[in-house]
Amino acid sequence: MEIATLAGGCFWCTEAIFKRLKGVSEVTSGYSGGAESVQIKFDPKIISFEKILEIFMSLVDPTTLNKQGNDVGTQYRSVIFYHNDNQKKIAEESKKKADASGMYQDPIVTKIELFKAFYKAEEYHQNYFERNSFKPYCQLIINPKIDKLIKEFKENVKN
């Protein structure tokens, strides 16, 4: 198993997305580098780090600095925290590829930073979407991201 640590706005959203992927055994909401983050345990034989980053770049807005939707502040910044030199290389390539793809009009501002620490969020933040899918935030913000995930990455989504 490998670990990926990503920050892309509210961790409720990113947790809900990555929990649905084949090869992902665990997603924990928490804090890393001053940002709301998720730590993802995955089997690289089933889903690659490259694919995780492709999904990440498609389902967050990597062009906004310290902002995702209505969530504003440095805690909502977009960051790929690499755990080793290979992850750093893959992250840099992924960012260049996404920037060159024309997927976004504005340049990608996602940071690539060395992983230093991860602090698990309070228990009420864990599995938030599964426990609160009826709430307006989940309906308006998280559901469309899950719908996009299923539409664009169906082959990677758990049944």
Give the residue numbers annotated as catalytic, written as ranges: 10
78-82/111-114 β-pairing: parallel
* DSSP three-state, residue 89: helix
**Contact between 30 and 7 (Cβ < 8 Å):** no
Q: How far apart, in whole angstroms, are the C-alpha atoms of residue 11 and residue 98?
A: 22
Cβ count within 10 A of residue 104: 15
* DSSP three-state, residue 144: helix
